[in-house]
Amino acid sequence: MRVGLISDTHDNVTKIKAVIKRLNELNVDLVLHAGDYISPFTAKPYAELKAKMIGVYGNNCAEHEKLKAVYTAVGKEIIGNFAEVEAGSRGIALLHGHDAALLRSLTTRGCYDVVVHGHDHVAKIAKVGGTLVVNPGEVGGWLTGRSSFGLLDTETLEAEIIDL
């Protein structure tokens, strides 16, 4: 299964449209959004995303109920602050990552095959014990000047970071 990984879109509709185009071209089966959408108006472009999308809130998402409603209206799902996702035969923990103690616990206890997070806007892939930890970086590009997303292959348990 091919899973697109995105985070920290931060209202940058131009970059949101670009990542959706790339994810559609890559024919991903699922997209996981690790939070910080920010405003409800950002939901509309996601109607063009062909894959199912599951997301969580970030620390800058103030309008939780409105965000959930508008993303649901375009066929995408925001779970809450944390999601357990089954993709292929892999267990994935999805969170924003602003709670450092929770992130550390999830990455070190070996309960998940993959932990996907964002928050610090720095794209990175690491192996902690038997757990693959992926931060796809920021789609928005506001903080680092780099817009990126991740691609996860659940069969091989390999991930890559792709620049927009």
Could you give phi then psi for residue 27, rounded to 5 degrees?
A: 55, 50
Burial of 17 (0-12, 13-18, 19+ CB in 10 A): middle
The predicted pLDDT at position 55 comes to 98
Burial of 68 (0-12, 13-18, 19+ CB in 10 A): buried
Tens digit of each residue's pLDDT (9 = 90 or more) over 95-154: 998 888 999 999 999 999 999 999 999 999 999 999 999 999 999 999 999 999 999 999
The predicted pLDDT at position 1 comes to 97
What structural domains does the chain harbor? 2-163 (3.60.21.10)
The predicted pLDDT at position 60 comes to 81
Tens digit of each residue's pLDDT (9 = 90 or more) over 57-108: 988 877 889 999 999 999 999 999 999 999 999 999 999 988 889 999 999 9
The predicted pLDDT at position 38 comes to 85
User: Residue 163, Cβ neighbours under 10 Å: how many?
Assistant: 11
Instruction: Indicate yes or no: pTM above 0.85.
Output: yes
Strand blocks (E) in 7-163: 30-33, 52-56, 77-80, 82-87, 90-95, 114-116, 124-128, 131-135, 148-153, 158-163
Question: Is the pLDDT reported for residue 56 higher than 90?
Answer: yes
